[in-house]
Structure 1
Amino acid sequence: MALKIIPIVDGELAIDEDFLSLAQADNLLELFLTELPWRHDQITVFGKSHLMPRMHCYQSEISINYQYSNLSLTPDSYHPKVLQLKRYIEAVTGVSYNAVLINLYRNGLDKMGWHSDDEPALGTNPSIASISLGVERCFKLRHKQKDAADMSLELAHGSLLQMSGSLQANWQHSLPVRKRISLARINLTFRYIK
């Protein structure tokens, strides 16, 4: 197990495609699908309100609401297995996290649009540790300013992706629709909220 640096301009990106064993990843996927307090919130985009194209939950050790996309999320306490996973990630990366936003993509129609994790509460140059569980999906990145080539990563079941440095200031990322996918994916994004 080791994070492999992915060459990228204006930021830092690293991946461990086998961060969790297959058995660990399978167990966590099954557990989280049934035991996490999933929410399906309304969001407003370009003046129109609709259900988010995914489900989510937010857990933290601090009593600070997390705000993004006109939502204000009140944290639930960590699920014991989420807390165990957080501590494992911290030991491997050497970075401390105090919150996690967890997204459930029920099938290939669920998605995440282009965005950066650059909310003021995350501070300058935040480190985001992202665990993928379930079906492999394409994770896309595009630079905000330069003519840098777009990037695509296939995020495997049990993989860890670490985004850090000035990546959030300079890049956007998304998880596009994949109509042929019928299986679920869970993504846990650990972060430090100030």
Structure 2
Amino acid sequence: MIRIERSGLQLRHGPRWLQQQGIATQELRQRLAEGLAWQQPLVTVYGKQHRTPRLTCWVADPGCLYRYSGLQQQIHPWTRELEQLRELLHHQLGVRFNSLLLNRYRDGADRMGWHADDEPELDDQAPIASLSLGVARDLRFRPRRGHEPAFALNLGDGDLLVMDPPSQRHWQHALPPRARVVAERVNLTFRVIRRA
């Protein structure tokens, strides 16, 4: 794993990590695209409602409630494939993840704005493990304060990115639109929720 460190930021990047685990990423992405209950909910931004510019699905253990952008996420059960990924990450990182947010970017127009994964129900002492499937996209990082320069990390098919504490407290990240990207990317972010 490649370590990337800045003031208040600790990342670990494993290029093609899924392939190293013997997982066929194209087949996995297709099964997830076809087999999950994808949603495109309405969110309120500056008083106006918009559809999220991506598809989402929240998978979690019972009682792991999650709310972001004013929306309570509907819990979907773990599939066999997702449970397998959770076990692989537990073995690799020693963390028992109890929830997973999936984002499906259908092409380069789908995006995610600047944010930190710092909602109060998330355990801020646990890392967030992110897996990428499909076309490579740049994940941008910028500090909330200070003079550290922003930078981008290109995440390709099968890559693992671990965002360790206290990264979410001090940095934001975003997936900007890319007009030339015409293929799909699915991102899986494994988290630890403090149970209600």
For normalisation by structure 1, the TM-score amounts to: 0.96
Residue in 1 that maps onto 2:12:
14
Report the residue type matching 2:173 in the other structure.
Answer: H
| Cα shift at 1:74 | 2.0
- Distance between the aligned counterparts of 1:131 and 1:193, measured in 2? 18
Q: Equivalents in 2 of 1:11, 1:61: separation in Å? A: 28
Distance 1:126 1:175 in 2: 22
Give percent identity, aligned residues only. Answer: 35
* Contact preservation (8 Å) 2:9, 2:164: yes
Q: Residues 21-72 of structure 1: CA distance to partner in whole angstroms, max 9, x if unpaired?
A: 1862112111111111100100000100011000000001122321001110
Aligned equivalents of 2:94, 2:26: Cα separation in 1: 25
Residue 49 of structure 1 is matched in structure 2 by 49
After superposition, the Cα gap between the structure-2 partners of 1:54 and 1:172, relative to the gap in structure 1 and judged at 3 Å, is same
Is 1:78 equivalent to 2:90 in the alignment? no
For residues 74 and 65 of structure 1, the distance between their equivalents in structure 2, rounded to whole angstroms, comes to: 8
Could you tell me how far apart the structure 2 residues matched to 1:190 and 1:42 are?
23
RMSD of Structure 2 on Structure 1 (CA): 1.2
Check the 8 A contact 2:64/2:98 in 1, yes or no: no
Q: Is the 8 A contact 1:125 1:169 kept in 2?
A: no
Q: Who is 2:139 aligned against?
A: 139
For the residue of structure 1 that corresponds to 2:141, the secondary structure is strand
What is the CA distance between 1:149 and its match in structure 2? 1.0
Contact 1:63 1:74 in 2 (8 A): no
Cα distance in 2 for partners of 1:109, 1:27 equals 23
**Superimposed CA distance per residue, residues 118-141 of structure 1 (whole angstroms, 9 cap, x where no aligned partner):** 011113343100000000000000
Q: Secondary structure at the match of 1:89?
A: helix
Per the alignment, residue 116 of structure 2 pairs with: 116
CA distance in 1, matches of 2:183, 2:125: 33
CA distance in 1, matches of 2:125, 2:143: 15
Of the structure 1 ranges 119-128 and 94-103, higher mean CA displacement relative to structure 2 is found in 119-128
What is the alpha-carbon distance in structure 1 between the residues aligned to residue 5 and residue 169 of structure 2?
A: 17
SS in 2 for 1:58: strand
Is the Cα–Cα contact under 8 Å of residues 67 and 73 in structure 1 kept in the other structure? yes
Matches within 5 A, 1:1-194: 3-21=1-19, 24-194=24-194
Look up the equivalent residue of 1:182 and give its one-letter code: V
Task: Select between 69-78 and 118-127 the one with higher mean Cα deviation.
Answer: 118-127
User: How far is 1:163 from its partner?
Assistant: 0.2
4+ aligned runs moved over 2 Å, structure 1: 62-65, 123-126
SS in structure 1 at match of 2:76? coil
